Structure 1
Amino acid sequence: MDVVAIGETLVSLTPKANGLMRHAESFTPKVAGAETNTLMGLSRLGHETGWISRLGDDELGARILTTVRGEGVDTSNVMFDRQHQTGLFFKEMIHGGEVRVHYYRKGSAASHLEMDDLNEDYIANATFLYISGITPALSESCKTVIMRAISIAKEHDTKVVFDPNIRKKLWSEEEARTTLLEISNQSDIVLPGIAEGAFLFGTTDDKEIAQSFLNLDDVSCVVVKRGERGAYYSTPESSGEVDAYEVRNVIDPVGAGDGFAAGFLSGLLDHLSIEKAVERACAVGAMVTTIPGDFEGLPDRARLEQFMSSDQREDVER
């Protein structure tokens, strides 16, 4: 297995017309989750991926499982929970790329993940364990599961990749900062955004953010996502900046960071240099924003190569 991830996936309900949700007359259901967005992105690029989670034993859970499995992600370690429902959220598309998200996930099946849900061999046999800062915020049991998964990965030389992906509504800032730093300290690769760096270290300078993560115990690579300004990467051996791909018409920015992670991990799995892996990450992240939905804009390898090729530069400025 190339990449295994742990986390919650929900059903997203989006009004068919843009504007305030109070005026919506109908909604389109879709599947969305930070970790599965990344896994599906990797799967479309030809990599083997696996998902650990819980779903409610309900129609929403069935929809999610069918979608994720249909994208080529292994779901053999996804449990159905008869006691708790599948979570959902509403995505309010207002105008000009402005999006508001309203979650209804409290007490969901995924928030009841337990230690028994972890398959040690599943994690041990993966190249990367991918986690986000969302899962440990869902519940105390989820936090325990994440910390144990990291321990398993460390015991078996599986690299831990961490996207802090802060959700302030889920926990107090003090608990969030403490937990995210604890996880970062045990991660091999960290993929923060500028806002997350500011939250954890009190600076918006990308180089200072990267160095702050590199000063932690186990971190060997940091890629700071800078949105329209691309990304800054740093390791003990090298550092540099990669320009963003300019998107002239942003349709839906949600999920771009998950696509970025998919592109970056794909590059590492293909043994690209860090710089080239970050370039692929920027391309995938840009492509996600051009299609409605969290994962629908994720490219397969042919579309990605076309997007990044020189003959496309007239249409996609950098």
Structure 2
Amino acid sequence: MSKLVAVGETPLALAPSETDRLEHARDLGLRADGTESNVAVAASRLGAAATWVSRLPDTPLGRRVVSELREHGLNTAVDWVDDGRQGLAFSEPGRTPREGAVIEDRTGAAMAEAEANALPRAPIEHAETLFVAGSTPALSETARRTARSLYRHFEGTRVLDLDYRPGLWSVEAAREYFTDVLDAVDVLIARERDVERVLGESGSAREVVHAVAAGHDLDSVVITCADGSAAARVDNVVHEVAAVEADVANPAGDHEAFTGAVLAARLDGEPMDAALDRGAAGAALARTLDGPIPAVSAGEVQRLVDEQSSGGR
């Protein structure tokens, strides 16, 4: 059985080329792009037994999501339904000085109406670690209730990623929900910008992990920064890791690669400082790829970790 179960929605992401705009584009690329599934793919590719659990419409679009995830070797457990729709996300890449844009088209997505007791139970009941990202409870009140129930009844390690998406809900709604549910969470993982927006904590990464862990009585807090560095507080001890240099093709997927690598390392018994090293290496590799799914490999990550270590880190 899987050690890691990631529960959440995976929309299909559609985007034109970097030099085109949505309103003029004739061709759009199509990718599966969900935070939970991206994290599970990364963890699975790095050796963790992982399963993605979701609710999807039994349509060509729903099946398209599963087929892409399975191409990466990820186990999937889906509640297939005739009602609901496949969530979509349209994105327009930005190039300086033109800003990018994201249009979330996920209202009525099948996962938005998923009840906890209707999801495939075996992967959830037998896993050691549960992972849910904030973009899933953002879908609806039902999704919020389902995520809350999963956290409160799961008997293993419960991991939450803030994953704040302004196109899905307001800062105020997100803050209210997370404030309510964090007492049922063991590990919080978040982007630095999301912590500032939603929880109102700013400063150095070291200061932020201290403040969030103490303020919400969390066992572990992990923060990733825009420059590729990260920090974590575990049992009152702070660990930090510098960014690994990369020739950036696309930053999409780097946070999920980092998270998947950290979770895989922790499930393998690695201490947090070693897990952060693997996370930073995974994130760097993901930034060299064109696409949101972090198709990194264990050998590549180990090579980068060894190179960073031999370089005096």
String of CA shifts for 1:118-154, please: whole Å, max 9, x gaps. Answer: 345432311110011111110111111101111221x
- Amino acid in structure 2 at the alignment position of 1:192: A
Match of 1:261 in 2: 259
String of CA shifts for 1:72-109, please: whole Å, max 9, x gaps. Answer: 22223x11221221111222223269643222111111
Structure 1 residues 141, 60: CA separation in 2 closer, same or farther (over 3 Å shift)? same
Distance between the aligned counterparts of 2:226 and 2:300, measured in 1?
21
Match of 1:140 in 2: 141
Distance between the aligned counterparts of 2:52 and 2:100, measured in 1?
27
Assess if the C-alpha contact under 8 Å between 2:18 and 2:95 holds in 1: no
Match of 1:310 in 2: 307
Could you tell me the TM-score, scaled by structure 2's length? 0.91
- Amino acid in structure 2 at the alignment position of 1:222: V
Q: Which moved more, 1:54-63 or 1:14-23?
A: 14-23
SS at 2:167's partner residue? helix
Match of 1:73 in 2: 74
Match of 2:150 in 1: 149
Distance between the aligned counterparts of 1:52 and 1:32, measured in 2?
14
Q: CA deviation at 1:236?
A: 2.4
Q: CA deviation at 1:217?
A: 5.7
String of CA shifts for 1:41-80, please: whole Å, max 9, x gaps. Answer: 111112111122111221111111112233222223x112
Match of 1:83 in 2: 83
Match of 1:100 in 2: 101
SS at 1:166's partner residue? coil
Structure 1: tracts of 5 or more residues without a match: none
Residue-pair matches, total: 310
Q: Which moved more, 1:85-94 or 1:118-127?
A: 118-127
- Amino acid in structure 2 at the alignment position of 1:176: A
String of CA shifts for 1:155-185, please: whole Å, max 9, x gaps. Answer: x2x1001111111222232221011122222
Assess if the C-alpha contact under 8 Å between 2:113 and 2:142 holds in 1: yes
Q: CA deviation at 1:313?
A: 8.3
- Amino acid in structure 2 at the alignment position of 1:286: A
SS at 2:222's partner residue? strand
Match of 1:288 in 2: 286
After TM superposition, the structure 1 = structure 2 runs for residues 58-69 of structure 1, keeping only pairs within 5 Å, are 58-69=59-70
Match of 1:225 in 2: 224
Distance between the aligned counterparts of 1:200 and 1:17, measured in 2?
30
Structure 2: tracts of 5 or more residues without a match: none
Match of 1:176 in 2: 174
String of CA shifts for 1:235-275, please: whole Å, max 9, x gaps. Answer: 2242132101122x322212211111101101112221111
Structure 1 residues 201, 17: CA separation in 2 closer, same or farther (over 3 Å shift)? closer
Structure 1 residues 236, 307: CA separation in 2 closer, same or farther (over 3 Å shift)? closer
Structure 1 residues 202, 122: CA separation in 2 closer, same or farther (over 3 Å shift)? same
Distance between the aligned counterparts of 1:216 and 1:69, measured in 2?
39
Structure 1 residues 311, 169: CA separation in 2 closer, same or farther (over 3 Å shift)? closer
Assess if the C-alpha contact under 8 Å between 1:127 and 1:159 holds in 2: yes
SS at 1:169's partner residue? coil
Could you tell me the TM-score, scaled by structure 1's length? 0.89
Is the counterpart of residue 301 in structure 1 residue 302 in structure 2?
Answer: no
Structure 1 residues 204, 19: CA separation in 2 closer, same or farther (over 3 Å shift)? farther
